[in-house]
Structure 1
């Protein structure tokens, strides 16, 4: 069915209230978009990430009288007459098919492929991880995930234990297992991510080798040969005391979810405990890797 949308520019502090007002006018969905096109990450449970300059997009049935919607929104105390907005018609498509057509098998490093279930596997002899886009973040399409997958592909994981800190969809832990790791441990604050990781591990035949924990459930003194954390620069700095003790002495650490401009500050949080490699960059994002010092 055809749709029409209204885009309203506002500030982060006003976005929630205006979103509620759009829903009251009949919007079937309301989304937030950074006016400056900053990257958007999956929010924490119960959290909505907002920005200083935010566009609110309300989606309506194309039969909706948008003049009435504009009049109702103009009466809102945060807007008023002449508020900045844009109304656009949305092309009527088979959105499910459109969405599926955008995902193709992707290769990382020398051996590893991430393949959606509805596509043919390009190389049956490769290391193939079957993963469909879902509710938890992590399908391989984002540069940060790509950087981590390529790094894992280049390691000798045979018989190793791997911790995926902030596991999301489980893509990194599952890839590590299929690349030869004997055990993987996924940790995430979101129960939805734990379920997604469990489902994806079962689909890939590695559920018996993957342990999953919410932070308060994880075993004490947990350590692994390889630790990867693809989250955000802020948490990587704040949680450094927890993350940097996870690799064993001589163990590998891989950090991503970091803009190139943030790399130096993240490196500083780990440099005392690790021999760090040169920072790897891809599309303004970067990956920090290194080995933990021996005592």
Structure 2
């Protein structure tokens, strides 16, 4: 059995209209994504935490999955009232063959070596180095498998700089990978904070899988709750936040309050061209430095004055 994917380029004005129309034409699924995803031209979209983002990519692609016997010519013809005439639609077709999807997914995630002593190992693999610090982690609903440069930048910093016994806050904890790494690298206590309930669930499951008990979680749709629930004596030695540039700028006052004097802030999810603006947002509390860079993503760190 196989399927066919119809992928149509669309601007912001037409993408959602095409998505709805394709579902009406019998598509099994439809998604809209940035046509420039994973390139330097990728367009970042931001919204308020807990609220849907009202923007859409200027140059989008609408991808619709159909059964192999779908009449694609007729479907394109029926879209003429939505956007351009079908003869001018910028589209392509891709065939999707029946596969062992579980095995295929697993094959895309091999163990990742972060440093000489730190590895990320999916549950279906044997640890390449049983004597290393191995983070046992599977891909799931929350961000943070270890494959993205921003996660690797944060892990590298923790591996090189985290002091034994430190208190750590992982703000936007996602899968919990950074919090779990901090504990395995010697932190005495870690708090994970996220506005996504799926992230909290994933973090709890991954912490249990890695036998990490000294790990608290907060789920909040209001960032001020994190400040209210954490007492002054619980200010962290290290706050790590691997999110995105605009949310980091918005959260700067909150993140600053979570760090003790002389403590460290570690920020990632920042493209090279966004680094100066993020650094400026934190300068009033921290002596900021630029850290390592990987594939156009940068790490910013700072010491609280």
TM-score normalised by L of structure 2: 0.89
In structure 2, stretches of 5+ residues that fail to align are none
Matched, 1:209 2:214: yes
Are 1:117 and 2:117 matched, yes or no? Answer: no
Tell me the alpha carbon deviations over residues 227-275 of structure 1, each in whole angstroms, 9 at most, x when there is no partner. 1000000011111111112111111110000001111111111123222
Instruction: Name the count of aligned residue pairs.
Output: 291
**Matching residue of 1:196:** 202
Give the corresponding residue for 2:52.
47
Unaligned runs of 5+ in 1: none
TM superposition shift of 1:292: 1.0
Instruction: Report the secondary structure of 1:135's partner residue.
Output: coil
**Higher mean Cα deviation, 174-183 or 83-92?**
83-92
Q: Cα gap change, 1:45/1:2 in structure 2, threshold over 3 Å: closer, same or farther?
A: farther
> More displaced, 67-76 or 252-261?
67-76
The answer (yes or no) to whether the contact 1:104–1:119 under 8 Å persists in 2 is yes
Measure the CA separation in 1 of the matches of 2:50 and 2:77.
34
Cα distance per residue 1:169-195 (max 9 Å; x no partner):
111011111111111111111111111
Aligned counterpart, 2:283: 271
> 2:168 aligned with 1:156, yes or no?
no
- String of CA shifts for 1:156-214, please: whole Å, max 9, x gaps: 331111100111111101111111111111111111111111111111111x3111112
Three-state SS of the structure 2 residue aligned to 1:154 is: helix
Deviation string 1:93-138 (CA, Å, 9 cap, x unpaired) is 3232121101011111332111100011011111111000000111
Alignment of 1:247-258 (within 5 A): 247-258=259-270
The CA deviation at 1:41 is: 8.6
Contact (CA 8 Å) 1:75, 1:81: kept in 2 or not?
no
The residue aligned with 2:14 is 14
Q: Confirm whether residue 69 of structure 1 aligns to residue 75 of structure 2.
A: yes
Are 2:290 and 2:299, in contact at CA under 8 Å, matched by a contact in 1?
A: no
Aligned counterpart in structure 1 of residue 176 of structure 2, from 162, 170, 174: 170
Q: Is residue 106 from structure 1 mapped to residue 112 from structure 2 by the alignment?
A: yes
Q: CA RMSD in A?
A: 2.1
Assess, with a 3 A threshold, how the Cα gap between structure 1 residues 131 and 254 changes in structure 2: closer, same or farther: same
- The CA distance in 2 between the partners of 1:36 and 1:170, in whole Å, is 28
Using the TM superposition, name which of 61-70 and 181-190 deviates more: 61-70
